[in-house]
Amino acid sequence: MKTRYRGRYVVGYDGTAGNHVIFDNGELVVEGNKVVFAGGEYDGPVDVEVDASNCLILPGLINAHGLMDVSIYQYAFDRPPAGGYFRPRSWVEEASQSDVFTPEQVRRGADLSFLNFARSGCTTVCGITSMVFKRWDDPAWEPEIYMESAVKLGIRAYLSHHYRARAPYSAGNGEKSFVLDDARGMMGLERCIDFIEKYDGAFGGKIRGALFPYTLDQSTPDLLRATARAAEALDVPIRMHTAQSEDEIAFLRSEYGMSPVAYLESLGILDRRWLLTHSLHIGGNHPETEEQDLAILAQRGVSVANCPWIYTFNGGYLNSFSRYGQSGINMLIGTDTFPQDLLREMRWAAIMSKVADGASTSGTAREVFDAVTINAANYLGRDDIGKLSPGMKADVVMVDFDRFSIGPTEDPIRSLVYFATAADVQSVMVDGEMIIDDYRSTRVDESRVVRDSQGVSDLVADTLAEWSTGSSDREKFCPPSYPRVR
């Protein structure tokens, strides 16, 4: 059955020029799970007509680093960094310690996360979970729960069993230290390989696998080399937090005498499969090596994911989104915290690029929109998502441009990036199926999902308070803005 959607604007794609094109009063035609037409006027017969004349119709957005569980970061606002986030050493080492969350609690957090993805126009997500509450890696059952939530909410997902060889803990002086166990890292890698071999391509191809050594400073050279070999054998992407903190830079300088990029380059493993998330400290905070390291990433075809919101509350930002992109790096954007609102992250990526460069022309709407569409699809090796043209997957988002928050429009992509919110997303289609319709999920009771997540968030707060202060007094750990009566 062919369905024609008549939009106020349609973001089509010019394959010759290799860029998006905006069609005023455009049309999108979908048949089954494929795009038949995206452009001006379709002159063929259709079975169903849909009036979307209030909407900007665009390709489904791709989230390069989407948190899939309840975030810890609401407990970091308006307070100094907490060393207790890194857990006591005894908790890391003692096998008798139980997991913080039950499978049901993980599922509740996951459902809320995937609901957020869908409501903000994400049709494909590269998933990330917090390792704060994991000793070494995910429990073996955990990635399957995220898969189940992705399928339930209708999202395409690239999933992993996260792993590492150095587990961080908070030392008695409040500084971060590590317990080293390369065998545990290799065990985690094998679990990830097993997950990929079992589920890559499952559920009609909506579930895909990726390798995820969690952070650069928590991985050893042997673990990274083994990861690169496995990625080549499995033909899957690799994701890793890299150059994200001053502590990491100091550790790499002390241990290897190199910046993060120089260290990875010395291992001979960098190629287009790698996505380095955050990467705020490229060059190891040495300006004389920064340009060289950016050039290495561009030469090797490495992608970088910017997740700006998570750093803004500590005054941090990438220097800068435009600069990295103009260096030839394939730039992506992710939501590394709650809410998982990629529209908001696009806005922050653009704004913080302007702040970093002191220029209004930095971090343009076109740059950040490409990051969540064409660029992200290129990193994933996909030629069937990230754009609307004949033969593409019918992954489609419709944003209501009659909303007061958007107002009058001169350029619809700028209006999307600088003014639109998740509340303005009217419809989301994945593989030809509407998963958001009339601003609501077609898959779950949204209010129930939100209510069910509250107990998980309470447990997060209790656990962090206990680790940080030795007491489950959450208000001592994270004082309220005003006196609170419970």
Q: What is the pLDDT of residue 450?
A: 95
Q: Spell 460-486 as b/e; 16+ CB within 10 A means b.
A: bbbbbbbbbeeeeebeebbeeeeeeee
On whether both 399 and 298 belong to a single domain, the answer is: no
Look at residue 472 and tell me whether its pLDDT is greater than 80: no
Give the tens place of pLDDT for each residue, 327-378.
999 999 999 989 999 999 999 999 999 999 999 999 999 999 999 999 999 9
Of 66, 121, 143, 476, nearest to 310 by C-alpha is 66
Of 67, 64, 30, nearest to 47 by C-alpha is 30
Segment 408-430 shows an average pLDDT of 97
Look at residue 285 and tell me whether its pLDDT is greater than 70: no
On whether both 366 and 408 belong to a single domain, the answer is: no
- Of all residues in the chain, what percent carry a pLDDT higher than 90? 78
- Mean pLDDT across the chain: 93
Q: What is the pLDDT of residue 334?
A: 98
Q: What is the pLDDT of residue 408?
A: 95
Look at residue 81 and tell me whether its pLDDT is greater than 70: no
| pLDDT band, residue 284 (cuts 50/70/90) | low
Look at residue 287 and tell me whether its pLDDT is greater than 80: no
* 462 belongs to a structural domain: no
Q: What is the pLDDT of residue 228?
A: 98
* 472 belongs to a structural domain: no
On whether both 365 and 423 belong to a single domain, the answer is: no
* Dist CA 339 CA 425 (whole Å): 15
Segment 178-201 shows an average pLDDT of 96
Q: What is the pLDDT of residue 286?
A: 66
State the residue range of the domain holding 140. 61-380
C-alpha separations of 408 from 62, 399, 412, 440, 456 in Å? 27, 14, 10, 25, 41
* 450 belongs to a structural domain: no
* 19 belongs to a structural domain: yes
* 470 belongs to a structural domain: no
On whether both 135 and 228 belong to a single domain, the answer is: yes
On whether both 32 and 170 belong to a single domain, the answer is: no
Q: What is the pLDDT of residue 421?
A: 94
Segment 235-251 shows an average pLDDT of 93
Number of domains in the chain: 2
User: What is the DSSP annotation of 348-359?
Assistant: HHHHHHHHHHT-
On whether both 16 and 97 belong to a single domain, the answer is: no
Q: Which residue has the tokens 């609501």?
A: 440
The CATH number assigned to the domain holding 41 equals 2.30.40.10
Does an H or E element contain 247, and which? Answer: helix 246-256
Look at residue 188 and tell me whether its pLDDT is greater than 90: yes
* 434 belongs to a structural domain: yes
More confident residue, 72 or 221: 221
- The last residue of one of the domains, among 399, 422, 440, is 440
Segment 279-293 shows an average pLDDT of 80
- The last residue of one of the domains, among 380, 397, 423, is 380
On whether both 297 and 273 belong to a single domain, the answer is: yes
Please tell me the number of Cα atoms within 13 Å of 381 on its side-chain side.
14
On whether both 129 and 52 belong to a single domain, the answer is: no
Look at residue 401 and tell me whether its pLDDT is greater than 60: yes
Q: What is the pLDDT of residue 177?
A: 85
Q: What is the pLDDT of residue 189?
A: 98
Q: What is the pLDDT of residue 266?
A: 97
More confident residue, 170 or 182: 182
On whether both 53 and 65 belong to a single domain, the answer is: no
On whether both 82 and 132 belong to a single domain, the answer is: yes
* 407 belongs to a structural domain: yes
- The last residue of one of the domains, among 346, 380, 414, is 380
Segment 154-175 shows an average pLDDT of 89
pTM of the model: 0.96
The CATH number assigned to the domain holding 288 equals 3.20.20.140
| pLDDT band, residue 174 (cuts 50/70/90) | low
* 292 belongs to a structural domain: yes
Segment 107-121 shows an average pLDDT of 97
Of 244, 164, 145, 258, nearest to 211 by C-alpha is 164
On whether both 174 and 257 belong to a single domain, the answer is: yes
Give the tens place of pLDDT for each residue, 122-150.
999 999 998 888 888 999 999 999 999 99
Q: What is the pLDDT of residue 119?
A: 97
Q: What is the pLDDT of residue 224?
A: 98
Segment 225-253 shows an average pLDDT of 95
* Dist CA 455 CA 105 (whole Å): 8
Give the tens place of pLDDT for each residue, 193-206.
999 999 999 999 99
More confident residue, 219 or 92: 219
| pLDDT band, residue 403 (cuts 50/70/90) | very high
Q: What phi, psi does 326 have (nearest 5°)?
A: -70, -15
On whether both 20 and 78 belong to a single domain, the answer is: no
Its sign, for the CA torsion 400, 205, 131, 454, is: positive
- Of all residues in the chain, what percent carry a pLDDT higher than 70? 97
